[in-house]
């Protein structure tokens, strides 16, 4: 069965006109168009915006980001334009506890977290779904993600699949979804390209039509992760220490282990005859090891917290797949060994750069997402 995006004819085969659909609206063009296209498909649409972060800013943070009052206003303006209701749900205290505190704790352990996945897992497809179905009678929750759900003729989900726009595909961030969540989720943009989404926004006269994309984490508006931790979580920052080469020789001094991630080469402030990359971080010794591009390559990883969207393989089973180790990574061929219920090992056919603890490894069979987990260690 081919994945279905918002193909009106096929969607009408299983989604009755007037079905109540809540759309998670961030104030950006993607969620705006998702809401508009669902309305055009005959759905009874409700726009819902989550407030996740208080938007208090340090002196260094000057850019607007999601959760700002301007973004809420843009989401409301789109809803007014479409003639649909809009409401705001305040999850700020929960978000700080579940996502931001975890973000800081991971950096304190020299791991590189992905808070957007935690937001999807705990808020968009869990807490928000609970609110919209219980308080607003929603039958489905839609988002502006570029992903697709393959369904049978009755609308039952078969699998989570990549979006048509390969450059925008966001299934990496959705590997934590359960099959039960797929049952009541819609991704209206899955069969569209970003260019087509912009064209729809212009056709509909939406205020978000030309709004720039945000590539930042909502609570780190200037992309200065180290500065954010120093401002808000000073207890989670690593103490300054030494840059070492792979033989243990001192190359210089760094500002703190929280400011670096595996594979990083910019902003190191260490000169040399060839480019250097972060190959290891030790928060206990306060050392950051630098090596060559070849020394940051690895072929194996272990992962925990594994979630299977496909039927779960048995412990000890091996399978062939392709794997992504970060959002923009080109899927690489590998052998996967299922170690237990929530653990697995991956061995790549060819070495991969910067396999980073704290990031996710997401497994695919062609365009179908098999599942994924959190990288614990690499070799």
As annotated, the active-site residues are 119, 218
3-state secondary structure of 215: coil
Q: Strands 277-282, 287-291: parallel, antiparallel or unpaired by DSSP? A: antiparallel
3-state DSSP assignment of residue 363 = strand
Written as six digits, the tokens of 127 are: 């807490």
Q: Which residues are bridge partners to 250 per DSSP? A: 244
Angle (deg, nearest 10), helices 29-40 and 194-204: 70
DSSP state string for 234-300: GGGSPPPEEEEETTS-EEEEES-GGG--TT--TT-----SS--EEEEEETTTTEEEEE-TGGGEEEE
| Torsion sign, CA atoms 130, 134, 139, 144 | negative
Handedness of CA 144, 177, 98, 280 (dihedral sign): negative
State the virtual CA torsion across 65, 128, 116, 368 in degrees, nearest 10: -130
Cα 185–chain centre separation? 16
Locus of tokens 């595909």: 169
* Strands across the sheet containing 20-24: 86-90, 44-51, 20-24, 140-142, 185-186
């Amino acid at each position: 069965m081919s994945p279905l995006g918002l193909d009106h004819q096929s969607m009408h085969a299983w989604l009755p006109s007037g079905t109540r659909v809540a759309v998670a609206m961030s104030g950006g063009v993607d969620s705006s168009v998702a809401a508009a296209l669902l309305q055009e498909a005959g759905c009874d649409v409700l726009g819902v915006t989550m407030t996740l972060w208080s938007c208090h800013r340090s002196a260094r943070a000057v850019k607007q980001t999601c959760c700002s009052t301007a973004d809420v206003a843009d989401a409301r303006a789109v809803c007014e334009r479409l003639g649909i209701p809009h409401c705001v749900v305040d999850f700020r205290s929960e978000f700080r506890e579940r996502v931001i505190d975890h973000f800081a704790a991971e950096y304190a352990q020299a791991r590189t977290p992905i808070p957007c996945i935690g937001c999807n897992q705990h808020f968009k497809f869990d807490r928000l779904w609970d609110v919209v179905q219980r308080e607003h009678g929603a039958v489905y929750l839609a988002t502006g993600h570029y992903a697709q759900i393959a369904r049978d003729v009755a609308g039952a989900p078969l699998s989570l699949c990549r979006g048509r726009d390969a450059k925008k595909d966001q299934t990496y961030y959705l590997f934590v979804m359960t099959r039960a969540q797929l049952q009541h989720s819609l991704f209206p943009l899955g069969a569209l390209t970003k260019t087509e989404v912009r064209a729809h926004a212009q056709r509909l006269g939406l205020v978000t039509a030309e709004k720039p994309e945000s590539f930042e984490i909502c609570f780190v508006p200037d992309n200065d992760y180290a500065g954010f931790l120093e401002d808000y979580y000073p207890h989670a920052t690593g103490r300054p220490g030494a840059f070492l080469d792979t033989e243990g020789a001192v190359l210089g001094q760094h500002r703190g282990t929280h400011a670096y991630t595996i594979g990083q080469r910019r902003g190191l402030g260490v000169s040399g005859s060839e480019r250097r990359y972060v190959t290891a971080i030790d928060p206990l010794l306060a050392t950051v090891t630098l090596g060559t591009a070849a020394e940051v390559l690895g072929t194996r990883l272990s992962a925990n917290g594994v979630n299977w969207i496909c039927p779960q393989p048995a412990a000890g089973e091996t399978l062939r797949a392709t794997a992504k180790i970060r959002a923009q990574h080109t899927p690489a061929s590998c052998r996967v060994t299922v170690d237990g219920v929530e653990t697995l090992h991956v061995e790549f056919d060819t070495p991969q750069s910067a396999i980073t603890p704290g990031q996710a490894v997401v497994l695919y069979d062609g365009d179908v997402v098999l599942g994924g987990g959190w990288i614990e260690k690499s070799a």
